[in-house]
Amino acid sequence: MATGGYVGKILYVNLTDKTTEEIPTSQYEEWGGGYGIGQALFWDRVPDKTIDGFDPANMVSFMTSPMCGTGAPSATGRTEVTGIGIQQYPIGWFTRSNFGGRWSAMLKYAGYDGVAVQGASDTPVWINIVNGKVTFEDATGLWGLDTHETQEEIWKIVTGNVDFRDWWDADSTRDSGRTTAKPAVVCIGPAGEAQTRNACLLHDSGNGGGQGGFGGILGAKNLKAISCIGTGSVPVADPAALMDIRLELKEVHGYNVDDPKVEQPLTGQGTSLFGINTNQPGYAHLLWTANQPARPQGCMGCFKNCRMNFASGLANGDICVEGLFWAASGDLNEQMAAITLLDRLGINAYDLINGHSYLHSLYKMGILGPGKEIHSELPWEEYATYGFIEKLLHAIADGTDIGADLQDGVTRAAVKWGRYEEDIASGLLNRPQWGFQEHYDPRLEVEWSYGSLFGDRDINEHGVNWWVHWMPLVTAALGVPAHFSAERMVELLAEATGVGDPDGWDYSEEGIYADPKLKAVAWHRHYGRFWLQSMLLCDWAWPQLASVNTEDNKGATPEYEIRMYKAVTGKDITYEESLEMGRRIWNLGRAIWTLQGRHRDMEVFSGYVYDVPTTAPYFLPVKENGEWKYGICLDRTLDREKFEDTKTRFYALEGWATDSGWPTRAGLGELGLDHVADELEKNGKLGA
Amino acid sequence: MADNDIKTTEGQGYSRRQFFAGLGGVGVGALLGGFVVKGFIVPEQVMALPASEGYLLVDTKKCAGCDTCMLTCSMVHHGRVNPALSRIQVTKNPFGKFPYDMEQVQCRQCPAPACVEACPTGANHVSEENGNVRMVDESKCVGCERCVYACPFTPSRMQWNHEDKHAQKCDLCANTPYWNEEGGPGGKQACIESCPMRAISYTTDVPVQQEWGYMANLRNHHWGWLSLDTTDFGKEADFELPTNPVPPAAAPAE
Ligand code: SF4
Ligand code: SF4
Ligand code: SF4
């Protein structure tokens, strides 16, 4: 069976001299797609890995995967972005972000498997891709426009005044095809233009790529947007098999909207929390539901459709922390307006979701405010109103008031204000690693925190978290029995992941340092690097380690991933081989970070993780006296010594030198990465 | 046979009410000259074409815009994926206000199909073997594209397949070589089967039509349970927007 899924070429763009080159995708197919290919391209084309993210030599890749554009369930529309980041502290590691929607699919219909951008333009430009034809366009007239206006303007430029309900001829000849779609545009807003470290990329309404600061990097490159539109086909090796997978997944694991197997116990203005485990549509805001007529809205090819579009048109397509942004207002309409403003200005929700409350704490402490140590004339007494957040967001985009400091991100602003050391020690600034806002408790839910610390950013992979943390929490909060017991939970996870040992999901005081846990952490990195970041399966949908829609509660993983991969590409791989590909991708990353200056000594959490005990109940499976139960994990800290020992064992498990954390020749050689070992050796950074 | 039944050559009757309801869907503004006149003045000519045994029924308020129907439609017919070759189209404005933000547009298998009418070679025909679905015999298509422009709807439900060089339209999945299921009227349809929101269904009666499409509400109380809109037909806003969503602006705050 022929290889499917790829359209064959990667577009390389040099913004400095406005030239392009086409790289055959086959040269990079061994890396799968997405992050794997973006990282391999970076390795090959950015000789000095120690450059700053703002350096024109930094290469930003927008990569698709074989699955993109094919209809592979919840794996069709995501785009992976890679490059040296500007958000992390103290060093902007080589990193990644990823956004949903339809951009990657459209890029493939336009003839490319990816776009890699290097250099910087001396004047504002945008890149216009129409069915394989690439032009550099003057973006002077777009500069200053917000992300929504930018896209609407580009739609007009590319597709004229064609109505949303009509066909657009891709060219004057009848052989170029027609589409009813508007160009798929990824762009930056005013925050990105100002080169802020917390500027995001935005596509369509709510698809943001925030982490890493790629919005600011595009700003530094003077690149306002990349637009693509095309009418070409994406080949699929075994279409009938892919169709069977789609229909089976819908039947067996999908949420039947007409007659659900498990239905949430609340309706109306309540919570959507139940959707976390049911695959129901429209649950993306978790803590709230629509207060006005709404429909579900999904990324291309999704089988869940977690977001919503609203009668007001505000907060369309927003999800997760975007959707939860400015809950402080306590007024859903104001919140939706704040979310939309955030999207329009192109600011990363995650840097500010707790960032604004940190700033408010400093205000209440008398440290920040008019005439205070940190001078600010924003209306702090009106905190929790739309008026306040509107002014704060504009201050960041415009660089006025404390916005001038916050353009460097909340973490670097704290450093500049001399607050950082004290506040990460106390946890007032709860950022456990690399300057990223805490996401899940780093003292407890450790495959998240260890993975983030040994990597480049907050990992943001929910497949395990939906089950171990959210399932017991949601069912307890809503007063219904857990969908299944803790014992069944760990059995399901052990089996679906392939780790085999249920103790991998023991979050007790001992469990989080034990060898089975390290295997679970390693599995998480390898699965994530291959399936989520390189094959671009959505992390809100995959892996499906358990299910409330099946009798035995077994999820779709790993059977469906392997079947999808084979149906699309025609390549037969085992699940173990896929994880090995993930390990290879993860190890090349480790080599890049090593060249950037990573060392064992840096891989420590912020002080509060070790010193400040947890105070709120936090649900996770724990094994106590041989019995499994959902624990509430109160009064827990991470033990410094035990963690250091755990780190040593984790390095050994990954084949890294235990004294430095650097990859070794033996470890890299096993993965066919001898040339990477050579480069590390040349730089005096090969682990021994 | 009752007076208001119109007999077709196939012997299946359908009522005058259904017929005019079907025509009504074309909308006065969209009706194309000769076709209308012919349709009304010499109905027996129109009626010479037997009614399709099946129709897609879409609920535009239930659609989530995931494009799955488009991806699978092209895949089961062509063995490759391409929304531009999908016979159902989902049109969208990501910034639009529900319910004006998106809708599925599908072939109506018109009782009096202008596309069939326009075809000079009989390639675009009513297929007796396939439940009278209106479909294109690709081998007979000479590529004049008259059918593409004859379909009175916007966007035209007829397509020029620019890759394989022939006209094509929804055949209710009669010709789906890349699917393990039997398609066509009486069989399965890829868009219906794959839609995760169950926003497309199948009917054997000519559906009652509006200017913008068929009237269909496929949402039951389970949909409402998710806080999603269950209100009936029509696109008129039956809802007053909140008074305090402060319109976000790109301009700097005062
Ligand atoms: S598959 Fe269903 S929900 Fe998705 S776009 Fe088509 S009709 Fe809408
Ligand atoms: S293509 Fe147009 S004219 Fe022909 S049957 Fe379909 S809707 Fe009617
Ligand atoms: S019934 Fe078949 S041919 Fe018609 S739109 Fe649906 S998938 Fe396409």
A585-604 pLDDT, tens digit per residue, is 999 999 999 999 999 999 99
Average pLDDT rounded to a whole number, residues A162-169: 93
Question: Looking at residue A328, what is its pLDDT?
Answer: 87
Q: Give residue B247's pLDDT band: very low, low, confident or very high (50, 70, 90).
A: low
Average pLDDT over all residues of chain A: 96
Nearest CA in chain A to B162: A175
Rounded-to-integer distance, Cα A524 and Cα A454, Å = 12
A372-399 pLDDT, tens digit per residue, is 999 999 999 999 999 999 999 999 999 9
B70 CA to centre of ligand 3 in angstroms: 8
Q: Which residues contact A472 (CB under 8 A, 6 or more apart)?
A: A482, A486, A619, A620, A621, A630
Supply A341's token pair.
Answer: 């403003």
Average pLDDT rounded to a whole number, residues A458-469: 97
Mutation for testing the B interface, residue in A64, A145, A152, A180 having most B CBs under 10 Å: A180
Encoded amino acid at A120, one letter: A
Partners of A336 on chain B (C-beta within 8 Å) are 245
Encoded amino acid at A162, one letter: V
Residues with CB under 6 A from ligand 2: B 107-110, 113-115, 134, 151, 153, 157-158, 169
Question: Looking at residue B88, what is its pLDDT?
Answer: 98
Nearest CA in chain A to B217: A258
Q: Are A354 and A362 in contact (CB under 8 A)?
A: no
Q: Torsion over CA of B108, B109, B110 and B114, rounded to 10 degrees?
A: 110
Query: What are the Cα distances from residue A499, in Å, to A424, A462, A507, B47?
Result: 34, 17, 16, 66
B131-160 pLDDT, tens digit per residue, is 999 999 999 999 999 999 999 999 999 999
Within 10 angstroms of residue A484's Cβ, the number of other Cβ atoms is: 19
A98-132 pLDDT, tens digit per residue, is 999 999 999 999 999 999 999 999 999 999 999 99
Question: Looking at residue A516, what is its pLDDT?
Answer: 98
Q: Determine whether the shortest distance from the Cβ of B67 to ligand 1 is under 6 A.
A: yes
Average pLDDT rounded to a whole number, residues B229-248: 62
**A282–B228: do the CB atoms touch at under 8 Å?**
yes
Question: Looking at residue B136, what is its pLDDT?
Answer: 98
Helices (H), chain B: 16-24, 33-41, 43-46, 68-78, 114-118, 146-150, 190-194, 221-225
Q: Is the pLDDT of residue A628 over 90?
A: yes
Mutation for testing the B interface, residue in A175, A182, A295, A319 having most B CBs under 10 Å: A295
| A 465-484 residues with CB < 8 A to B | none
Rounded-to-integer distance, Cα A165 and Cα B91, Å = 6
Task: Tell me whether 0.90 is exceeded by the ipTM.
Answer: yes
Partners of A317 on chain B (C-beta within 8 Å) are 94
Question: Looking at residue B211, what is its pLDDT?
Answer: 63
Question: Looking at residue B16, what is its pLDDT?
Answer: 34
Average pLDDT rounded to a whole number, residues A311-331: 91
Name the residue at shortest CA distance from atom 6 of ligand 1. B69
Q: Give residue B34's pLDDT band: very low, low, confident or very high (50, 70, 90).
A: very low
Rounded-to-integer distance, Cα A528 and Cα A375, Å = 43
**B162–A174: do the CB atoms touch at under 8 Å?**
yes
Angle value at C-alpha A450, between A444 and A453, nearest 5 degrees: 130
Partners of A294 on chain B (C-beta within 8 Å) are 98, 227-229
Q: Is A304 on the interface with B (CB under 8 A)?
A: yes
Q: Are A283 and A319 in contact (CB under 8 A)?
A: no
State the ligand closest to the CA atom of B87: 3
Q: Is the pLDDT of residue B106 over 80?
A: yes
Question: Looking at residue A681, what is its pLDDT?
Answer: 98
Query: What are the Cα distances from residue A355, in Å, to A208, A285, A417, A438, B144?
Result: 18, 19, 14, 11, 62
Question: Looking at residue B12, what is its pLDDT?
Answer: 37
Q: Is the pLDDT of residue A368 over 50?
A: yes
Q: Are A39 and A82 in contact (CB under 8 A)?
A: yes
B72 CA to centre of ligand 1 in angstroms: 11
Q: Torsion over CA of A397, A398, A404 and A409, rounded to 10 degrees?
A: 10
Nearest CA in chain A to B161: A177
| Contacts of A172-177 spanning 24+ positions with Cβ under 8 A | A174/B145, A174/B160, A174/B162, A175/B162, A175/B165, A176/A131, A176/A231, A176/B162, A177/A131, A177/A231, A177/A232, A177/B84, A177/B160, A177/B162, A177/B163
Helix axes A640-654, A575-596, angle to 10 degrees: 120
Question: Looking at residue A543, what is its pLDDT?
Answer: 98
Q: Is the pLDDT of residue B38 over 80?
A: no
Q: Are B130 and B172 in contact (CB under 8 A)?
A: yes
Place of tokens 């920040």: A368
Rounded-to-integer distance, Cα A271 and Cα A97, Å = 28
Q: Is the pLDDT of residue B25 over 60?
A: no
Mutation for testing the B interface, residue in A107, A150, A164, A229 having most B CBs under 10 Å: A164
Helix axes A332-345, A386-398, angle to 10 degrees: 10
- What are the DSSP E strand ranges found in A625-660? 627-631
End-to-end CA distance of chain B: 74
Name the residue at shortest CA distance from atom 3 of ligand 3. B170
Please report the DSSP string for B147-208 in residue order.
HHHH--SSS-S-EEETTTTEEE---TTSS-TT-SS-BSTTSB-HHHHH-TT--EEEESSPPP
Place of tokens 């498997």: A113
For residue A644, the SS3 value is helix
Q: Is the pLDDT of residue B3 over 60?
A: no
Question: Looking at residue B233, what is its pLDDT?
Answer: 61
**B226–A233: do the CB atoms touch at under 8 Å?**
no
Question: Looking at residue A402, what is its pLDDT?
Answer: 98
Q: Give residue B215's pLDDT band: very low, low, confident or very high (50, 70, 90).
A: confident
Q: Is the pLDDT of residue B232 over 60?
A: yes
Place of tokens 């040992």: A501
Q: Give residue B246's pLDDT band: very low, low, confident or very high (50, 70, 90).
A: low
ω into A90 cis (within 30 of 0) = yes
Q: Is the pLDDT of residue B214 over 90?
A: no
